[in-house]
A and B are shown apart, each in its own frame.
Chain A
Amino acid sequence: MRLMPTRRKILCLAAATCALAVAGIAPASAQNAGADAFIRNFATDLVAIVNGPEPAAQKKAALGPVIGRDVDVSGVARFCLGRFWSTATPEQQAEYTKLFQQVLLNQISGHLGDYRGVSYVLTGDTPQGSNTLVGTTITRPNQQPINVQWVVGSVGGTPKVVDVIAEGTSMRITQRSDYASYLGQHGDRIDALIAALHRQLDNSAS
Chain B
Amino acid sequence: MHLTTLHQGPARRSLAAAALAAGALALASCATKPPATDADAVQDYEQTNDPLEPTNRFFYRVDDSLDRYTLKPLAEGYIFVVPSPVRTGLHNALANLTSPVLFADDVSQANPQHAGDTFMRFVINSTIGGAGVFDVAKGFGYPAHDTNFGITLGLWGVPTGPFLYLPFVGPSSPRALVGRGADTVLDPFTWVPRGYGLKTLNWARYGVGIVDERATYMGDIDHVKASALDPYATFRSLYRQNINSQVEAAKHPAPTTTPSWGTQPAP
Q: Which residues of A contact B246 (CB under 8 A)?
A: 168
- Rounded to whole Å, the gap between the CB of B68 and the closest CB of chain A is 10
- Rounded to whole Å, the gap between the CB of B240 and the closest CB of chain A is 9
Measured in the bound complex, the distance between the Cα atoms of B7 and A187 in whole Å is: 38
* A174: Cβ under 8 A from any B Cβ: yes
Measured in the bound complex, the distance between the Cα atoms of B217 and A193 in whole Å is: 28
* A142: Cβ under 8 A from any B Cβ: yes
Q: Which residues of B contact A139 (CB under 8 A)?
A: none
Is the pair A174, B7 in contact by a Cβ cutoff of 8 Å?
A: no
The contact of B224 among A10, A173, A193, by CB within 8 Å, is: A10
* B29: Cβ under 8 A from any A Cβ: no
- Rounded to whole Å, the gap between the CB of A24 and the closest CB of chain B is 17
Measured in the bound complex, the distance between the Cα atoms of B236 and A111 in whole Å is: 21
Measured in the bound complex, the distance between the Cα atoms of B212 and A3 in whole Å is: 12
Residues of B within 8 A of A (CB): 2-4, 7-8, 11, 14-15, 18, 40, 44, 48, 60, 63-64, 66-67, 70-71, 84, 88, 144, 146, 165, 168-171, 206, 210, 213-214, 217, 219-221, 223-224, 227-239, 241-246, 248-249
Q: Which residues of A contact B244 (CB under 8 A)?
A: 168
Is the pair B228, A168 in contact by a Cβ cutoff of 8 Å?
A: no
Q: Which residues of A contact B242 (CB under 8 A)?
A: 6, 9-10, 12-13, 167-169
- Rounded to whole Å, the gap between the CB of A176 and the closest CB of chain B is 8
* A107: Cβ under 8 A from any B Cβ: yes
Is the pair B44, A180 in contact by a Cβ cutoff of 8 Å?
A: yes
Measured in the bound complex, the distance between the Cα atoms of B236 and A174 in whole Å is: 9
Measured in the bound complex, the distance between the Cα atoms of B242 and A167 in whole Å is: 7
Measured in the bound complex, the distance between the Cα atoms of B238 and A7 in whole Å is: 10
Measured in the bound complex, the distance between the Cα atoms of B73 and A50 in whole Å is: 29
* A14: Cβ under 8 A from any B Cβ: yes
Is the pair B84, A3 in contact by a Cβ cutoff of 8 Å?
A: no
Q: In the complex, which residue of chain B has the Cβ closest to the Cβ of A174?
A: B237
Q: In the complex, which residue of chain A has the Cβ closest to the Cβ of B70?
A: A3
Q: A9-B239, A14-B223, A174-B238 are in contact. Are A4 and B146 (CB under 8 A)?
A: no
Q: Which residues of B contact A184 (CB under 8 A)?
A: 44
Is the pair B40, A83 in contact by a Cβ cutoff of 8 Å?
A: yes
Is the pair A178, B221 in contact by a Cβ cutoff of 8 Å?
A: no
Q: Which residues of B contact A170 (CB under 8 A)?
A: 241
Is the pair B220, A14 in contact by a Cβ cutoff of 8 Å?
A: yes
Q: Which of B18, B213, B238 has the most CB of A within 10 A?
A: B238
- Rounded to whole Å, the gap between the CB of A126 and the closest CB of chain B is 12
Q: Which residues of A contact B249 (CB under 8 A)?
A: 168
Q: A1-B7, A83-B40 are in contact. Are A6 and B170 (CB under 8 A)?
A: yes
Is the pair A4, B213 in contact by a Cβ cutoff of 8 Å?
A: yes
| Contact digits for A152-172, partner B, Cβ 8 Å, 1 yes 0 no | 000000000000000111100
